[in-house]
Chains A and B, each alone.
Chain A
Amino acid sequence: MKLQTLLMSVIALTICFTANLVWAGKIVIKGSTTVLPIAQKVAEIYMKDNPDVKISISGGGSGNGIKALIDGSTDIADSSRFIKQKEVKLAVEKGSYPVPFAVAYDCIVPVVHPGNNIMNLTMAQLKDIYMGKIKNWKQIGGHDRPVVVISRDTSSGTYEVWYKKVMQKKRVFPRALLQASNGAIVQAIATNKNAIGYIGLGYMTGSVKALKVNNIEGSAETTLNGTYPISRPLYMFTPGWPKGDTLNFINFLVHPEKGQKYVSEAGYVPLY
C-alpha cells in the first residue's frame, strides 16, 4: 500500500511538474452542470487548436461556481442563472467585479408520440399534467387514453428548468416515470402513444412530436426573441474583465463560426 501511494505521488508530481513546464496557460472552469457540456465541447476544440493552454472543467452547480468565483479559485464560473445581488456584493468586497457573458440558451420542449392529436398545451395544462391532475388525454381534448408522464432525474439541468419554469417549484407527482437522459426520453416516447416528456431542443428527432407551449413553437428563433416560455440564457462569469487565455477562450466560445457552432452540437441554442 505504502509503496503504491509513494509511486502514485511520484507519478502525479512528475506529471504536474512537466505540465507546468510544457503548458504556459491554464484556465479553471467551475459551476453549472447545465453549462458543463458546452464548456467541455468547446474546451476540447480550443485545446486542440491551442495545445499550450490547459483547461480544467468541473461541475458542482451554479451556486458552487459563483462561490468559487468569489473565492478566486476559478477563472470562469458557469451558471444557469444570473448572479444574485448578494453574490456581486461579496465578490466586490473580495476585490473583483463579476462580468457576465451569455454563452448560449437552453430551450426545453414538451414532446409526445407522433400519433397524439394534441398540438398545443398551455403552461397551466403542462403543470397540471406533471402534478398528476390531468390523468387522461381526453380531459384536454385528446384521445381517450391515460397520460403517461415522463420526467428527468431530479439532478439534471433540464429538470431544473422544468421545475422552475413550468412547475413553478411545485413537485412533479411521484407516479411520473423517470428517464436518465434526453435520448432515453425520446426512445420511451417514440414507443408509447400515451406518453409526454420534455427534452432539450437539440435532441429533437422525427420519432417524437414537439408541442407548442401557449401557442408558441419552441425554436432557436422564439428562444432568442424571448417569446418561448421554457427557455433561459446560460452564462459564464469572470472575475473582472477577462485577460490573456481566459479572454481568448471566451472570444472563441462566443464567436459565431467557432465556439457557437458546437453549442448546438451540445444540445443548446446558440446566441446567433
Chain B
Amino acid sequence: MATSSHSGKSRYRTEKIIRITFFCISLASIATLALITIFLFMEGLPIFKEVSVKDFVFGQYWYPTDEPPDFGIFSLIVGSLSVTVVSSLISIPLGVLTALYLAETASAGIRQWVKPIVELMAALPSVVIGFFGMVLIAPFLQEVFGVATGLNLFNASLMLAFMSIPTICSISEDAIFSVPTELKEASLALGATHWETIARVILPASLSGITTAIILGMSRAIGETMVVLMVAGGAAIVPISLFDPVRPMPASIAAEMAEAPFRGDHYHALFATAVVLFLFTLLFNLAADYISHKYKQVGASTL
C-alpha cells in the first residue's frame, strides 16, 4: 500500500516535470519569435520620423543614399506582389493537379516514387535555383523571346514557382488523401464517374486543405530572398510587361543591408521594408489559418 502510493507520487512528479519542460521549450520558441518581431519594429519605426507612412508606402522613388534621399517602396511592394501572383499562376495548377494525380489516379508504385521526388524539390537550396535561373533561363529567355534582359519578372516567377510547388503539392495531397473513403464510395455507388467524384466530391471536401496549401506556397514565394536577388533584375519600377525587371522587397533588403550605415535612415528604411514584408506574410498565414478552421471538414456529415 505504502509503496504503491509512493510510486504514484513519483509518477505524478515526473509528469509535472515533463509538462513544465515542454512548456518552457515551447515558450522559448515563442519568445524568440516575439523578440525578433519587437526588434523588427524597433529598428523599422524610426524612419517614420523622416517620412510619412503614406510617402513611404506609396512613394514612387527608392533612392536611399542620395542627398536628399527618397524612401518610397511602392515599386518594391508591387514587385513583390507581382512575382508572387505570377508564380502562383504557374505553381497552383501544377501543384494541385499533381496532388490530385498522386492521391487519386496514380498507382501505388508511381506514387511511391513521385511523392518523395516532389518533396525533395523543397530541399533544393534557393541559391542553386537562383543560379539555374541566372545562368540557364536568363540567356534562354533572351535568345528565344528576344527580350532585352532575361533577369526579369517572368524568370523570377518561374523559379519561385519551382520552390512553391513542393509545398502546395505536398500539403494538398495530404488534404485530398484524408478525404473519408465513405464519401468517395457513396459517390461512386450513386453512379458518378471517377472524374465526377473528383470534381464534385473530393475537391470540395478537401478545399480548405488545398487553400491552406496555396496560401502557404504563396507566402513562401513572397518571402523568398536569394532567388529574387539573383534573377528578378532589381529595377525599382512598377512592371508593365511580364518581361520587365522588378525589385521585390527581400532583394532590396538583402542587397543593401550589409553596407547601410548602422542605425542611419537607410538602415531604418530597410527595416521598415521588412516590417511591411512581415505584415504581408502575417496576413497570408492568418488567412490560411482562418480558412483551414472555418471550412474544416469534420467527418463525412458536414459536406
Contacts and interface: CB of A to CB of B under 8 A. Distances in A.
A67 to B, nearest CB: 11
Interface string A166-210: 000101001111111000100110011111000000000000000
Interface string B109-151: 0000000000000000000000000110011001000001111
B234 A177 contact: yes
B259 interface: yes
A146 B237 CA distance: 18
A155 B149 contact: no
Contacts of B262: 60
A192 B139 contact: yes
Contact of B259 (A33, A179, A194): A33
Contacts of A61: 261
Contacts of A177: 149, 151, 233-235, 245
A155 B259 contact: yes
Given A180-B254, A191-B139, A174 B61 contact: yes
B268 interface: no
Main secondary structure of the interface of B (DSSP, over half): loop
B234 A194 contact: no
A174 B134 contact: no
A146 B142 CA distance: 12
A72 interface: no
B26 to A, nearest CB: 15
B235 A154 contact: no
A105 to B, nearest CB: 20
A148 B148 contact: yes
Most B C-beta atoms less than 10 A away, residue of A156, A187, A191: A191
A191 B135 contact: yes
A71 interface: no
Contacts of B61: 174
A219 interface: no
Interface stretch (B12-20, B63-71, B166-174, B213-221): B63-71
Interface in B234-262: 234-237, 245, 247, 251, 254-256, 258-262
Nearest to A178: B234
Interface string A205-232: 0000000000000000000000000000
Contacts of B251: 178
B256 A179 contact: no
Contact of A192 (B62, B138, B230, B235): B138
A59 interface: yes
Given A155-B65, A156-B259, A178 B235 contact: yes
A44 interface: no
B64 A192 contact: no
A169 B63 CA distance: 12
A153 interface: yes
Nearest to B247: A178
A167 to B, nearest CB: 10
A193 B146 CA distance: 11
A175 B256 contact: no
Interface string A82-95: 00000000000000
Nearest to B236: A174
Contacts of A159: 65
Nearest to B134: A187
Contacts of A125: none
A148 B149 contact: yes
Given A177-B149, A191-B135, A154 B256 contact: yes
Interface string B48-89: 000000000000011111110000000100000000000000
A191 B236 contact: no
B149 A192 contact: yes
Contact of A154 (B63, B135, B151, B254): B63
Nearest to B233: A177
B266 A180 contact: no
A120 interface: no
Nearest to A179: B234
A40 interface: no
A64 interface: yes
B31 to A, nearest CB: 8
B256 A153 contact: yes
B103 interface: no
Nearest to A177: B233
A148 B61 CA distance: 20
Contacts of B134: 187-188, 191
B210 interface: no
B256 A155 contact: yes
Nearest to B244: A175
B261 A64 contact: yes
A178 B139 CA distance: 17
Contact of A174 (B31, B64, B75, B255): B75
Contacts of B150: 191-192
Q: State the 10 A-B residue pairs at the shortest beta-carbon distance, nearest first.
A: A178-B234, A155-B259, A180-B255, A153-B255, A146-B148, A154-B65, A148-B149, A177-B233, A191-B139, A155-B256
5 contacts: A33-B259, A153-B234, A171-B63, A174-B61, A188-B151
Given A153-B255, A192-B142, 19 more contacts: A1-B31, A60-B262, A153-B234, A153-B256, A154-B256, A155-B64, A155-B256, A156-B259, A159-B65, A169-B67, A174-B235, A174-B236, A175-B235, A178-B236, A180-B234, A187-B134, A191-B142, A192-B149, A194-B149
